[in-house]
Chains A and B, each alone.
Chain A
């Protein structure tokens, strides 16, 4: 049952591959951003998991307790979450502008319009 102890890491791998697949396979720009978010979230879970110590508690000094979980990865991931939110915001803003310019957020339809433009000029 050793693999069960690595449950978090299995979740990370599954989420990471799901997100990565969505980013690559989907032609819809919003779905791509959703995939990107899942992909990034898996990394967040990975960082949080590696900081957990079995039987460890929150890193607040209390008499009689010797085992603490590592707080640093949490702080790192707070930063990474902020970065992720900023990226999502910029990505969505771009999707809105693309919709204004092309009337579509499907990659193949946008490419078709670009090719048509190229043929007309």
Chain B
């Protein structure tokens, strides 16, 4: 059993997804079943991380075909950490999902909805766990196709077009990845990532491999919403059902970032990506612009959900900035932000989900004075907001601190100043919401609202408290992130 954990990690949600179609008539049963599967997957991810914590690498040969000939699942601290983030968020979002999904999705579609959710989950876990380049492409598409369906389930008709646009952009991204993998296969005759890393140095001074690198970099950047390739993201997050936004914002872009790291550091090697090719000089300006411009755009949004979506683009910028330093410290900051931002953003979107549940929308004008009627929900939102800004004693502070250290360590002191300045932009957009929710009068004609049900509040608060907990007790995230960074810098 324990030997087959890597396979179970993906197979469990993948096989559970079609079973849900037998439960179309019993939405609550479908929910309970999905919850059980999500928690079992989380348990598997935790066991895997525990096994590789000391630096061990688990290699799992699918169907007994030894790598590099068969498909290999390969778990080290880097992807075990990413697996834990995905599985953890999907486990915590499930208790929240029950009421939220029941309200936002037609009851005869709920089982289909959870089926798509498990497929998306399986796809994302598969991307993270696999050690095979073509497998990454396939899992990318599994998770992407399921996500398009999930986003299109939003109540607003604009969800349909945002899903369609995401489909077009996402497919271009994954097809670029496919072309890049083809070029690499052409030159090396292998698809196994570890094997590729071994064979690439011989042929890497060719145009073909440089073209492969370029296609993979652009394709994956589209999937991770690197500025200016982020155009699909704000609409998709805004109009998707609340639970989908929570899940995707915390996991989908994070996994794409992991793939970028894997290719840049493990497969091509840091020396090639950042030494021979100037990826640091390409990524850094994009990251800086990607932090600055979406943060400014976020300030002018009238819909809070959309505002947070733009903030997500900015947060991707912070993660890419850490990568562009090409140092162990910078990578630690990036890996750490993968974790901390997942928790923080999920808490914020959950709080918004609770507000949608009670008042039906997240336009700022409708949220006037809402904190008086929904004090617990708004308090969780404020905690998440503080962590997003990077106030001390929150998880967000830890990442900003490591990013600052990494910037100073590499001698980029203007970037350190820039980081502090852009945190102020986050203060502005979070404050706008706080000001409206706490200090405005509730309009006289506004419907009477009560606090969100406990089933929505508990997961929201779990994550809000987690973002404080991991700001004080940093052994798990910092330990995992620094181990992961060391492994990545060391190559495969």
A interface, CB within 8 angstroms of B: 20, 23, 29, 32, 36, 39-40, 43, 46-47, 50, 73, 76, 79-80, 83, 86-87, 90-91, 94-95, 97-98, 101-102, 107, 110, 114
Contact = CB atoms under 8 A, between A and B. Distances in A.
A71 B172 CA distance: 26
A28 to B, nearest CB: 12
Nearest to A98: B160
B67 interface: no
B138 interface: yes
B175 A39 contact: yes
Contacts of B168: 23, 32, 36, 91
Given A76-B134, A114-B158, A47 B182 contact: yes
Interface in B143-157: 145, 148-149, 152, 157
A65 to B, nearest CB: 20
Contacts of A114: 158, 161
Please name the 3 residue pairs, one residue from A and one from B, whose CB atoms are nearest each other, closest first.
A101-B157, A83-B141, A94-B164
Given A39-B172, A102-B157, A50 B164 contact: no
A26 to B, nearest CB: 11
Contact of A46 (B137, B163, B179): B179
B36 interface: no
Given A86-B145, A114-B158, A29 B164 contact: yes
Given A39-B175, A46-B182, A90 B134 contact: no
A94 B179 contact: no
B186 interface: yes
A50 B138 contact: no
Contacts, number: 65
Contacts of A107: 161
Contacts of A29: 164
Nearest to B135: A79
A43 B178 contact: yes
Contacts of A80: 137, 178
Nearest to A83: B141
Nearest to A91: B167
B470 to A, nearest CB: 37
Contacts of A36: 168, 171-172
Contacts of B175: 39-40, 43
